[in-house]
Amino acid sequence: MKTPTNKILSIENVIKKLEFYCAYQERCHDEVTEKMRSYSLNNQEIDSIIVHLIEHNFLNEERFACSFARGKYRIKSWGKIRIVNELKFRKISQYNINTALKEITPDEYLETLHKLAEHHWGTMRENNVMKKRKKFCDYLLRKGWESNLVYEKVKELEGKNP
């Protein structure tokens, strides 16, 4: 019977692997803790490794939150509601969430909504106006855009293309 390789790793090897894991991409504490659990470490070992990673700047929740918010906003065009919910799901503090949202300027935010809405409205092939409106609103709401902004935008687009 073959023994799992993660059982025979020394703490030093685990630290090196986790340093690489954190250096490769920003991680939240939860992701790193989950990774350590896969190495079958006890809670005391996990805590000491987390402290090591924080002290050596491999792990930084504020940096993670800012990077996450920028990436999801710019690449996936998520709205603030979805970003906040995803950060809360990853157990990020409210202070770090607020800091991350400051990465998105209000003008840039509205410009992104405008581009996303115009593009999606133009690509929709629904003939029934009510169904088109519902599908459009559902799409933007699922992406985490505020309902008041979505409903204003749908009224504006319906006015252009009756």
First to last CA, the chain: 70
Indicate if 75 and 93 belong to the same structural domain.
Answer: yes
Three-class SS state of 1: coil
- Parent domain of 114: 106-160
Query: What pLDDT shows up at residue 107?
Result: 94
Domain-located, residue 22: yes
**Closest-CA residue to 102 (of 133, 62, 45, 58):** 62
- What mean pLDDT, rounded, does the chain reach? 90
- pLDDT tens per residue across span 65-81: 999 999 999 999 999 99
Indicate if 124 and 96 belong to the same structural domain.
Answer: no
Query: What pLDDT shows up at residue 80?
Result: 96
Domain-located, residue 130: yes
In this prediction, residues 118-129 reach a mean pLDDT of 90
Number of domains into which the chain is organized:
3
Query: What pLDDT shows up at residue 26?
Result: 94
Query: What pLDDT shows up at residue 6?
Result: 46
Query: Does residue 38 or residue 6 have the better pLDDT?
Result: 38
The pLDDT > 90 percentage for the chain reads: 77
Q: What is the 3-state secondary structure (H, E, C) of 132-152?
A: HHHHHHHHHHHCCCCHHHHHH
Domain-located, residue 1: no
Distance CA 95, CA 62 (A): 9
The yes-or-no verdict on residue 157 having pLDDT over 90 is no
CA distances to 29, 107, 142 from 6, rounded to whole Å, are 20, 49, 39
- pLDDT tens per residue across span 27-83: 999 999 999 988 888 899 999 999 999 999 999 999 999 999 999 999 999 999 999
Question: What's the pTM value of the predicted model, to 2 decimals?
Answer: 0.86
